[in-house]
Amino acid sequence: MNLYFVYMITNKNCTVLYIGVTNNLERRVYEHIQKINKGFTSKYNCNKLVWYEEYSTVKEAISREKQLKNWQRNWKNQLIEKKNPEWNDLSEKWFI
C-alpha cells in the first residue's frame, strides 16, 4: 500500500511556511535540508518539518494540500500547534 504525505516545513524562526505533498516524506525533507531543488524552500531556508498527515491516495493528499494552501496563516499555526505545540523539528533525529 502506498502512503502519501501532506507536510509543512518552516525556517528556524518559523516565519515562513511551505506546504507540500510527497510519497516519501523522509527523502523529501532531506531534499529540503540539502537544498537540492532550488526554489521557495531553499530561498527561505525552510528545513524544519513541523507538521504532516498521511493519506492512502494521492488524490486525497493533493486535495488536502490545496485546502491548506488557501488557509489563513493563523489557521495553519493552530493546526501545527495541535500536534506540535513547541514547533519542534519532527525530522530532527532522522538523519543522524
Domain locations in the chain?
4-83
DSSP H helices, the chain, are 25-34, 40-43, 58-69, 73-83
**CATH number of the domain located at residue range(s) 4-83 in this protein:** 3.40.1440.10
User: How much is the pTM?
Assistant: 0.94
- Residue 77: count of CB within 10 angstroms of its CB: 17
pLDDT truncated to tens, each residue of the chain (96 aa)?
799 999 999 999 999 999 999 999 999 999 999 999 889 999 999 999 999 999 999 999 999 999 999 999 999 999 999 999 999 999 998 876
